[in-house]
A and B are shown apart, each in its own frame.
Chain A
């Protein structure tokens, strides 16, 4: 086994183990922390796939942004440390269907993608300029749709958070 393979399995194990802790842990604090390591593992895998830009963005957005908010939510919820979370199974049939569809899509992507892994392509090429160009040319529509979806989420959050004062 060369260094690359060892690194790959290391990151894969980190990701999978912490992801399963996120799902199965009964302590919500442990879940939140495990999510941190899961994100880190995924960032490591991105680096091994020569996607340095995506790896750094993964850290910045998921670890530096979203997970902080999750931790805020967890910490400001009182009496959360010693409460057992329910991790039972409900709604088996819809869950199975959704998981099957998702897994099918992922496996399909996995088989059809031409993976650029480290030993075959030595040296990092610049990915950031190409990603930027593609986002503003070929993939402009998905890019804009994603931004609109995020805006809707923002407006929704603001709606829920500040109720209008009734005119008196």
Chain B
């Protein structure tokens, strides 16, 4: 019992510090990649290659004055960023970032919470994210904030639906709601050579899930909630200092989680193809698998960033049309086709 508790504490501390550091590095990566795409230099003065720029920015946000508008609804105004960051951080708890590793003489699963209904936990926690945004927009008592908050909630609710439905295809193929089982299912090979990753088995689901993930993380081409030209800053217009920083952090943490979920569900999670034939010791293999997960995650995040700086923003009605008239029928058709094919194979 004692060592179990110790392992949980270690996992938790490691997880929080890894996520926070990664999120800060993501901000740096985003600025550098955007600079590269726009033929600029980007942050390059603070530390080697400007690596410490993001850390300095965090300190800047911490030291800024916290301004609350006079007409704001104070308790809710304070609560909204907390909800956002709490939701963003708790989603990662069920993601398996490796198989098992031996620690203090016991086999430890490399995930924080091993939940029977892992995927549903993920969906339900993400669905809570809408509260932070809506409440922030409403409690600021400012029409731009309110409009930003409302747009964002409408967007989140619409795209959650296609997100959930595209996962159903994966669940049908894998036959489980546990995320570690879903990854294990992807470690087999099709025709003896092609890794059975869900991106090959469920390409349509991968496509729709990826698009929905962009919408859920409020990134271009779906960043309407904070469209600067029309809405000033969207739902966080009236936030400064640390509270703005929390929203900022939540946004990047959400992106991090979205990448991790995509990796887990579609890209084989920690699975490195053919690594089991290398004849490595179990500990080495575990470490290699964790590294594989990290590399896949980084690639997905880089793709997120490149897309943000390449594609222009949709109009609001286009966004809703895509969500309800293209994505939803596509995901439903995918479920139908998957079911039919599975029936035929049986």
> Are chains A and B native binding partners rather than an unrelated pairing?
yes
Q: Is the interface of A mostly helix, strand, loop or mixed?
A: helix
Known A-B contacts A124-B116, A128-B117; the reply to A81 vs B73 at CB < 8 A is: yes
Contacts of A52 in B (CB 8 A): 115-117
Tell yes or no: B128 within 8 A of A by CB: yes
Contacts of A104 in B (CB 8 A): none
User: Within the complex, what minimum Cβ distance (angstroms) separates A107 from chain B?
Assistant: 30
Q: Is the CB of A127 within 8 A of B130?
A: no
Q: Is the CB of B120 within 8 A of A68?
A: no
Tell yes or no: A100 within 8 A of B by CB: no
User: Within the complex, what minimum Cβ distance (angstroms) separates A128 from chain B?
Assistant: 6
Q: How many angstroms between the C-alpha atoms of A29 and B76 in the bound complex?
A: 10
Contacts of B123 in A (CB 8 A): 60
Contacts of A111 in B (CB 8 A): none
> How many A-B pairs fall under 8 Å by CB?
55
Q: How many angstroms between the C-alpha atoms of A124 and B113 in the bound complex?
A: 13
Known A-B contacts A68-B134, A68-B157, A72-B153; the reply to A59 vs B115 at CB < 8 A is: no
Among B47-87, those with CB < 8 Å from A are 73, 76
Contacts of A75 in B (CB 8 A): 134, 138, 146
Tell yes or no: B127 within 8 A of A by CB: yes
Q: Is the CB of A60 within 8 A of B117?
A: no
User: Please, what's the 1-or-0 string for A63-89, where 1 marks a CB less than 8 Å from any CB in chain B?
Assistant: 111001001100100000100000000
Other than the known A59-B124, A63-B124, what 4 A-B pairs have Cβ atoms closer than 8 Å?
Answer: A52-B116, A56-B124, A63-B128, A128-B116
Q: How many angstroms between the C-alpha atoms of A81 and B121 in the bound complex?
A: 33
Q: Is the CB of A56 within 8 A of B117?
A: yes
Tell yes or no: A8 within 8 A of B by CB: no
User: Please, what's the 1-or-0 string for A40-73, where 1 marks a CB less than 8 Å from any CB in chain B?
Assistant: 0000000000001100110110011100100110
Q: Is the interface of B mostly helix, strand, loop or mixed?
A: helix
User: Please, what's the 1-or-0 string for B283-309, where 1 marks a CB less than 8 Å from any CB in chain A?
Assistant: 000000000000000000000000000
User: 30 A-B contacts, Cβ less than 8 Å apart?
Assistant: A29-B73, A29-B76, A36-B131, A52-B115, A52-B116, A52-B117, A53-B117, A53-B120, A56-B120, A57-B124, A59-B124, A59-B125, A59-B128, A60-B124, A60-B127, A63-B127, A63-B128, A64-B124, A64-B127, A64-B128, A64-B130, A65-B157, A68-B134, A72-B134, A72-B150, A75-B138, A81-B73, A124-B116, A126-B116, A127-B116
User: Please, what's the 1-or-0 string for B213-244, where 1 marks a CB less than 8 Å from any CB in chain A?
Assistant: 00000000000000000000000000000000
Please name the residue on chain B nearest to A71 by beta carbon: B134
User: Within the complex, what minimum Cβ distance (angstroms) separates A125 from chain B?
Assistant: 8
User: Within the complex, what minimum Cβ distance (angstroms) separates A127 from chain B?
Assistant: 7
Please name the residue on chain B nearest to A127 by beta carbon: B116
Closest 3 CB pairs of A and B: A64-B127, A60-B124, A59-B124
Contacts of A127 in B (CB 8 A): 116
Tell yes or no: B27 within 8 A of A by CB: no
Q: How many angstroms between the C-alpha atoms of A53 and B136 in the bound complex?
A: 30
Contacts of B76 in A (CB 8 A): 29
Please name the residue on chain A nearest to B175 by beta carbon: A129
Among B143-163, those with CB < 8 Å from A are 146, 150, 153, 157, 160
Q: How many angstroms between the C-alpha atoms of A124 and B115 in the bound complex?
A: 9
Q: Name the residue in A59, A63, A64, A68 with the highest tally of chain B Cβ atoms < 10 Å from its Cβ.
A: A64
User: Please, what's the 1-or-0 string for B153-192, where 1 marks a CB less than 8 Å from any CB in chain A?
Assistant: 1000100100000000000000001000000000000000
Q: How many angstroms between the C-alpha atoms of A135 and B236 in the bound complex?
A: 43
User: Please, what's the 1-or-0 string for B96-128, where 1 marks a CB less than 8 Å from any CB in chain A?
Assistant: 000000000000000000011100110111011
Contacts of A36 in B (CB 8 A): 131
User: Please, what's the 1-or-0 string for A118-142, where 1 marks a CB less than 8 Å from any CB in chain B?
Assistant: 0000001011100000000000000
Q: How many angstroms between the C-alpha atoms of A63 and B153 in the bound complex?
A: 14
Known A-B contacts A60-B124, A75-B138, A128-B177; the reply to A68 vs B117 at CB < 8 A is: no
User: Within the complex, what minimum Cβ distance (angstroms) separates B136 from chain A?
Assistant: 12
Please name the residue on chain B nearest to A65 by beta carbon: B127
Q: How many angstroms between the C-alpha atoms of A124 and B117 in the bound complex?
A: 11
